[in-house]
Amino acid sequence: MHSTRELLMETDFPPLLRGRLETVQVNVGYRCNQRCLHCHVAAGPHRSETMDWATMEAVLDLLAASGAGTLDVTGGAPELNPHFRELVRQARALGVRVIDRCNLTILGEPGQEDLAEFLAAHRVEVVASLPCYLEENVDRQRGRGVFARSIEGLRRLNALGYGDPASGLVLNLVYNPQGPVLPPPQAELEADYRRELLDRHGVRFNRLLALANMPIQRFGSTLVSRGQFHDYMALLRASHRPENLETVMCRSLVSIDWRGQVYDCDFNQMLGLPLALGGRPRVHVRDLVGRDLEGNPVVVGDHCYGCTAGQGSSCGGALSG
């Protein structure tokens, strides 16, 4: 049986060139207090990969030298990295916008009781995973009790001002489909989330980001084992919209793994496809300090159709209406 990586490498996806660097996305480790089927990094409680402080210092150097305005911190549960808070402090001291990709349940974990207050104090934007507004669907995808703990986390953030436009504390939610289908239209789904979460739980948020499931790691392996991989890829290809190529995240973002190695996006990171730079087999974040990546070719594969299918999909949600 072919690996999903092998299946994705033969592609006719259109060539892409990078634009100006705007976002540095950093995966600070794969350890997580959850283990979700759709997780494209295959994170979990027993993963030990963790970014060290020296690598984080190199990330801060890149932010200072490049002028990129956003640091996007992900994992795993990024907050479980012992240097997470210092990274946030120093990035904010540089005047950089910081995004924390939070699974919500981490806010109630032992040792994280003051995490919500820390995020609010440093005005960190929270992007929180909540794949549905119904308890049964979330618990089926993420485990029993996850929905209730997620709602508790959302209420804790709301109490600090998150989700209130007047506070400036941004709380965005993330939706992933339950299986090998495209997300519904983001605007309509956001209206449903807003109504249901407010009416049922008194929870408010700023925006909903609808992301397609990528055919890699756990989700890709599940598709292969169920005989659904080729059908899902056919759906992504048939739904490709060329206009989404203008705004795909890989044109303005670099993704850095826990070792400091650099990729065009988080999905390429999980497939082991490093950023192309002068024929080097690997590129470290230190190699980018003082270097302009504009015009550099993006490494593409068949999985890239997941970002351009239908309304499009990126770390910032849908690309088009």
Q: pLDDT of 178-219, one tens digit each?
A: 788 898 888 899 999 999 999 999 999 999 998 888 888 778
Joined tokens for residue 9 = 């490498």
Per-state percent for the chain, helix, strand, coil, to nearest 5: 40, 15, 45
Q: For residues 278 and 66, give the distance between their C-alpha atoms in angstroms, rounded to a whole number.
A: 19
Task: Check residue 37 and give its pLDDT.
Answer: 56
Taking Cα atoms as reference points, which of 103, 98, 197, 169 lies closest to residue 141? 103
Q: Which residues of the chain have pLDDT under 70?
A: 1-3, 34-43, 311-321
What pLDDT does 145 receive?
86
Residue 278 is predicted with a pLDDT of 84
Give the CA-trace dihedral at 231, 242, 321, 216, to 10 degrees: 40
With a CB cutoff of 8 Å and minimum separation 6, the contacts of 37 are 141, 218, 219, 222
Is residue 192 within 8 Å of 133, Cβ to Cβ?
A: yes
User: Among candidates 54, 65, 68, which has minimal Cα distance to 25?
Assistant: 68
Q: Which long-range contacts (CB under 8 A, 24 or more apart) does 275-281 make?
A: 275/299
* Per-residue confidence (pLDDT) for residue 43, from 0 to 100: 62
The answer to whether the predicted template modeling score (pTM) of the entire model surpasses 0.85 is yes
How distant is the alpha carbon of residue 235 from its chain centre? 22
Residue matched to tokens 């990129």:
68
pLDDT of res. 1:
41
Largest CA distance in the chain: 55
The three-class DSSP label of residue 97 is strand
Q: What digits encode the pLDDT tens for the residues 26-60?
A: 999 988 876 655 555 666 778 888 999 999 999 99
Q: What does each C-alpha distance from 191 to 122, 188, 194, 212 come to in angstroms?
A: 29, 5, 5, 18
Strand partners, 255: 25, 263
Q: Tokens 């995004």 identify what position?
A: 99
Task: Give me the domains of the chain, ranges plus CATH numbers.
Answer: 21-214+249-294 (3.20.20.70)
